[in-house]
Amino acid sequence: KQWYQRRVRGYDFTDECNDDCSTHVRMYKHDFLFVIALIFGLAATFLNTVALLHGIYGYKSMKTETGLVNKCYVLLITTGDLLQGIFLLVSSINDKFFNTSDCITQFKWTTSSLCNALGIMSTIGSLVSLYSMTLLSLIRARKVTSIAPPAEGMRRKTKVVLSVTVLFIIAVSALIAVVPILNVLDDYFVHDLTFEGNSLLVGKLEKDQLLAVITTYHSRLYTGVQKSRLSWRSIRNLIRGMFRNGVVEGSKISFYGSNGFCLFSYFVKEDIQFRWYSIAVLITNLICVLVIMGCYLYVCAVATKTSAGANKSASKVSTQLQRKITLIIITDVLTWLPFIVVCFINYMEWIQASGWYFVFSIFFLPINSIVNPIGIYDDIVYKWAGALKERISKVIAKFFRKDTPKAPIEMNVVAID
For residue range 390-407, list pLDDT tens digits in order.
777 777 777 666 544 555
pLDDT tier at 410, thresholds 50, 70, 90: low
* Distance separating alpha carbons of residues 69 and 162, to the nearest angstrom: 7
pLDDT digits (tens, 9 = 90+) for 307-319: 555 555 444 545 6
User: What local confidence, expressed as pLDDT, does residue 148 receive?
Assistant: 57
Give the C-alpha distances (Å, rounded to integers) separating 15 from 103, 114, 197, 205, 212.
Answer: 11, 27, 11, 11, 16
Whether residue 7 is predicted with pLDDT greater than 50 in this model: the reply is no
Q: Of 249 and 92, which is predicted with more confidence?
A: 92
pLDDT digits (tens, 9 = 90+) for 349-401: 887 777 777 777 777 777 888 888 877 665 565 566 566 667 777 777 776 66
pLDDT digits (tens, 9 = 90+) for 189-218: 888 888 877 777 777 788 778 887 777 776
User: What local confidence, expressed as pLDDT, does residue 8 receive?
Assistant: 35
- What angle is formed at CA 176 by the lines to CA 345 and CA 255, rounded to 5 degrees? 65
pLDDT digits (tens, 9 = 90+) for 88-114: 898 888 877 776 666 666 777 778 888
Q: What's the average model confidence in pLDDT over 346-350?
A: 84
In this prediction the pTM is: 0.79
* Distance separating alpha carbons of residues 51 and 74, to the nearest angstrom: 10
Q: What's the average model confidence in pLDDT over 6-31?
A: 50
In angstroms, how far apart are the furthest CA atoms of the chain?
135
Whether residue 131 is predicted with pLDDT greater than 90 in this model: the reply is yes
DSSP letters, 170-234, are: HHHHHHHHHGGG-GGGHHHH--EEE-TT-SSS-SEE-HHHHHHHHHHHTTTTSTT--GGGS-HHH
pLDDT digits (tens, 9 = 90+) for 43-55: 889 888 888 888 8
